[in-house]
């Protein structure tokens, strides 16, 4: 008697649109990893998806508009849409704009998202469904290139900044266990990550909520504290024995941040700090409900550069905050001239529904915001150009992000980043005529030959290291 072939059910396919900051990207990775463990496959386009997830951003009104537009596009192209993320806290607004969405969940509500997917696109059932590997057996899904990874160490924030609603969206600070953080980092590096980007809402506050609870890690006790974590991350090595780059983001300048600068000087951490200063004028900082210690910060920047001359400082600033006068804005420009930050982003103040700043008096007219934005960008671009010009002639380590196609002469170019450049937000290093065999994730020594206001240009000086 002929045997009857077993027919496996088709896997349901999930589409994903991920908006917003790197913290939201990590949320998307976790959701997809969980869904893969439940037997789902993933679609590369709308047409191939049984349901589409849209991970939204709700930090600014413009971000909400972008999120609503993305939801609308997904509905138009596919029709079956589940919404999650920060704007998910405004379910009524989402359903008012798009009544046909299948479900709405809030930020980092992983279980609710998975339940919604199970409801509206039930996982395929069959005799071999139990053979699907479970979470502990899977390599996590990454939405970034293989060679760099975001490592989220906490959720939420304990600050009450007047312009921000993050605590309303993501709650108070909730730190991960230190052994869980280090285990994930170790796993990522073993799987090919050459650059770890440490993210949170407030990296400097890591562990405050758990009273810096210690855990056993490789036979020793390690505290849930930024400095202990940084030291342990600096001790990681790739399978080839190289130290990965470890880049710290969202670092508030608390006093203990001084302790990580020597680790950068020793080569254990990437000499880079992303610090959200937001402004410098004391009156504006007070209105923002942020620490007003701009003079002390300048002293500390000088001290950090004495300890680690190559340290790069990135920050962002808000112009046109309610009550900001021309004198306040000039104070900020003068402060920037003295601070000489390496990378600066600027944003025009934008009201966010639910933020305390919306009710403040003396709102700044839009035309003045635009004029101040142009002025701050002119100053910071000039500072950046001078700093990059000073690197011409130096040999710098560069991590390769992309390899180009050969030109008519057979020469191949590559795009990478120096240690002063975080992916997606900072500049790039463009290399000419790179050697055969170079791949993304390789770290090379590059001779810098030219620079503009944002990027560097050069050539490989030494063989690639992996």
Binding residues for [4Fe-4S] cluster: 21, 57, 86, 157, 161, 164
- Render the burial of 64-86: b for 16+ CB within 10 Å, e for the rest: bebbbebbeebbeebebbbbbbb
Rounded to 5 degrees, φ, ψ at 187 are -65, -45
Rounded to 5 degrees, φ, ψ at 267 are 85, 5
Helix (H), strand (E) at residue 283 = helix 282-288
Q: At what angle do helices 326-339 and 294-307 cross, to 10 degrees?
A: 10
By DSSP bridging, strand 154-155 and strand 174-175 are antiparallel
Query: Around 148, how many Cα atoms within 13 Å sit in the side-chain half-sphere?
Result: 26
Query: Around 124, how many Cα atoms within 13 Å sit in the side-chain half-sphere?
Result: 20
* 404/410 Cα distance (integer angstroms): 11
Please give the span between the terminal C-alpha atoms of the chain, in angstroms, as a whole number: 57
Cβ atoms 103, 83 nearer than 8 A: yes
Return binding residues: 21, 57, 86, 157, 161, 164
* 441/403 Cα distance (integer angstroms): 10
Cβ atoms 58, 83 nearer than 8 A: no
* 239/222 Cα distance (integer angstroms): 23
Cβ atoms 304, 262 nearer than 8 A: no
Give which of 96, 93, 94, 99 is closest to 54, Cα–Cα.
94
Q: How many helices (H) and strands (E) does the chain have?
A: 12, 20
377 sits in the region (left: phi over 0; alpha: psi -120 to 50; else beta) called alpha
* 6/239 Cα distance (integer angstroms): 41
Cβ atoms 430, 396 nearer than 8 A: no
* 226/231 Cα distance (integer angstroms): 9
Cβ atoms 369, 319 nearer than 8 A: yes
β-strand partners of 317: 278, 346
């Amino acid at each position: 008697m002929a045997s009857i072939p077993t027919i496996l059910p088709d896997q349901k396919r999930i589409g994903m649109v991920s908006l917003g900051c790197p913290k939201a990207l990590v949320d998307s990775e976790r959701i997809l990893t969980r869904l893969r463990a439940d037997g789902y496959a993933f679609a590369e386009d709308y047409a191939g998806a049984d349901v589409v997830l849209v991970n939204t951003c709700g930090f600014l009104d413009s971000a909400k508009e972008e999120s609503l537009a993305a939801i609308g596009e997904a509905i138009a192209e596919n029709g079956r849409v589940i919404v999650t993320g920060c704007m998910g806290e405004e379910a009524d607004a989402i359903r008012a704009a798009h009544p046909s969405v299948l479900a709405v969940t809030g930020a980092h509500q992983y279980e609710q998202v998975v339940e919604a997917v199970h409801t509206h696109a039930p996982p395929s059932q069959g005799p071999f469904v139990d053979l699907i590997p479970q979470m502990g057996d899977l390599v996590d899904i990454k939405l970034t290139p293989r060679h760099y990874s975001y490592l989220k160490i906490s959720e939420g924030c304990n600050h009450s900044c007047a312009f921000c609603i993050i605590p309303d969206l993501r709650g108070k600070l909730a730190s991960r266990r230190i052994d869980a953080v280090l285990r994930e980092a170790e796993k990522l590096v073993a799987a090919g990550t050459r650059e770890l980007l440490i993210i949170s809402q407030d990296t400097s506050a890591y562990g405050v909520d758990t009273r810096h609870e210690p855990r056993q890690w490789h036979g020793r006790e390690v505290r849930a504290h930024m400095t202990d974590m940084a030291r342990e991350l600096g001790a990681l090595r790739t399978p080839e024995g190289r130290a990965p780059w470890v880049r710290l983001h969202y670092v508030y300048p608390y006093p203990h941040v001084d302790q990580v600068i020597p680790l950068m000087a020793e080569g254990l951490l990437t000499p880079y700090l992303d610090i959200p200063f937001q402004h410098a004028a004391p009156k504006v900082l007070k209105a923002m409900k942020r620490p007003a210690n701009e003079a002390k910060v300048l002293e500390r920047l000088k001290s950090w550069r004495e300890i680690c001359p190559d340290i790069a400082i990135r920050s962002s600033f808000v112009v046109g905050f309610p009550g900001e006068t021309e004198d306040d804005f000039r104070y900020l420009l003068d402060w920037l001239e003295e601070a000489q930050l390496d990378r600066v982003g600027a944003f025009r103040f934008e009201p966010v529904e639910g933020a305390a700043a919306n009710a403040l008096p003396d709102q700044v007219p839009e035309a003045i915001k635009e004029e101040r934005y142009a002025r701050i960008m002119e100053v910071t671009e000039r500072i950046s150009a001078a700093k990059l010009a000073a690197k011409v002639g130096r040999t710098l380590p560069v991590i390769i992000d992309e390899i180009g196609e050969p030109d008519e002469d057979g020469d191949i170019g590559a795009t990478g980043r120096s240690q002063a450049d975080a992916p997606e937000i900072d500049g790039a290093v463009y290399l000419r005529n790179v050697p055969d065999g170079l791949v993304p994730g390789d770290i090379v020594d590059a001779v810098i030959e030219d620079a503009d206001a944002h990027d560097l240009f050069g050539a490989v000086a030494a063989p690639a290291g992996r």
